[in-house]
Amino acid sequence: MSPNPLQPWMHDVPAAIVQTKAALRQRIKDLPERFAVLDAALRTEVQAVRDEQAAGGAVPEIAYADIVAGSVTEAQKQRVRQRGCVVLRGVFSRHQANAWNDSIGDYIEALHYEELAKSKVGLDKYFSALGASKPQIYSLYWSPAQMQARQHPDMARAKAFLNGLWDARGTDGKPEFDPDRECAYADRIRRRPPGAVGLGLSPHADGGSVERWCDPSFQEVYREVYFGDVSAYNPFSARGRTHTHEIPSPAVASVFRSFQGWTALSAQGPGDGTLRVVPIAKGMAWMLLRALHDDVPPDDLCGAQPGRAHSASPRWHQTLLDAEVSIPLVEPGDTVWWHSDVIHSVEEQHRGQGYSNVTYIGAAPWCEKNAAVLQRQAKAFEEGRSCPDFAPEDYELGFAGRATAADLSELGQQQMGLRPW
């Protein structure tokens, strides 16, 4: 059974969009004034991002050693909350990251991935049809290196720190999630050779698209934006976040992630075909009310499409996109993280010199929503099938070189839902 059964409105999304927009516009009597507050705040933030970028960088950076030492200041934490993203430096040693990078390369070669990919074109409607001569996103989930990185104690400590940046209190005062227990959500690998083109992902946010307006569970998440004190909206309040309903799709994660993220397996930075972000954590609030303006057609939510990432376009969102910046240069073993509401993209072309390689590992703290996903994922792991959230390409099915339960530590078994905490 899917952890996200279809809600009634999902059976006719176009009608739901029209009805929801009309209902929200009717209910939000002060829409112009409410949006004006957000617009003024956004423009201030955009200028601040530009100034910070010119002065050395708008994306916060924290040394993992400071997390271990407990010396990260409250000002540093607050800046991450404001920018909605962070680079954690040195979570793993360069030696360890290089070893994982080499191991994944050997795994791909032993699997004959590129040959297999020719027979699977079209299964992944988002990446497999790219015009590149070689794959750039590899639909692999169970390589030994990926499993080692996910279950590494330093990764767990980094995620606990990030989870701790949230106010985890729910509607009833009880925690929405446990920041110190993590669910190992299986994601893929990116390997981009120099000169690669075609992987560019336009600016978008994950974690739902039209749902952010149409589903009551998301209206609860954004209650201050729609119905309360809009200036009090806190994107790091977990209230309602673990009870949302997403349209089931290979483009939409069914887990709650406090941060999306990846671990650098090679050096990469601006121009290397890697990540760009709009480092404004409250930017989503502005996007939500922007779609309710008179200049947006009644059946349109500024281009948001069901079952897809939540797009940000120059036509509707240029004010926000004016703050888009590249991540700073990162080294093997650094990790990069961003809030699921944060607009991000991937550069269209890799103009650098070396490979731009990462393994995608996000922070998915333990909650009932994520535990339900682990049940489905555990079966896929045991059989060597693709993670259920993604296209069923099943490259690793029957491959003897993939990781098995015997390769998991006690912590790894707990994170995979195979052993009680």
Whether residue 202 contacts residue 248, with contact meaning beta carbons closer than 8 Å, is answered with no
Q: What does the pLDDT read at residue 118?
A: 85
Report yes or no: 252 and 307 within 8 Å, Cβ to Cβ: yes
Burial class of 175 by CB neighbour count within 10 A (0 to 12, 13 to 18, 19+): middle
Predicted local distance difference test score (pLDDT) of residue 135: 65
pLDDT of residue 4: 61
Biggest alpha carbon–alpha carbon distance for the chain: 61
Mean pLDDT by 10 residues, the chain (421 residues): 74 98 97 97 98 97 98 98 98 98 98 90 54 71 98 98 97 92 97 85 92 98 97 97 94 94 98 95 98 97 94 97 98 98 93 94 98 96 96 96 98 97 92
Quick one: pLDDT at residue 2? 46
What's the confidence (pLDDT) of residue 119?
85
Q: Can you tell me the distance from the alpha carbon of 341 to that of 80, in angstroms, rounded to the nearest whole number?
A: 13
Residues 6+ apart with CB under 8 A from 130: 136, 198, 199
CB 46 within 8 A of CB 323: yes
Whether the Cβ atoms of residue 240 and residue 225 lie closer than 8 Å to each other: no
Residue 125 lies in a domain: yes
Contact 411, 366 (CB under 8 A): no
In order, the DSSP letters of 316-337 are HHHHHHTT-EEPPPB-TT-EEE
In a domain, 101, yes or no: yes
Q: Does 232 map to a domain? A: yes
What is the predicted pLDDT for the residue at 251?
A: 82
Instruction: Look at residue 33 and tell me if it is in a domain.
Output: yes
Residue 270, domain CATH: 2.60.120.330
Give the whole-angstrom CA distance, residue 143 versus residue 152.
14
The domain total for the chain is 1
pTM of the model: 0.96
Q: Residue 103 falls within a domain, yes or no?
A: yes
- pLDDT value of position 198: 78
Q: What is the pLDDT of residue 347?
A: 92
Looking at residue 208, what is its pLDDT? 93
In a domain, 406, yes or no: yes
421 lies in some domain: no
pLDDT of residue 196: 87
107 inside domain: yes
Q: Which domain holds residue 84?
A: 8-415
Tell which phi-psi region holds residue 90, choosing left (phi > 0), alpha (psi between -120 and 50) or beta. left
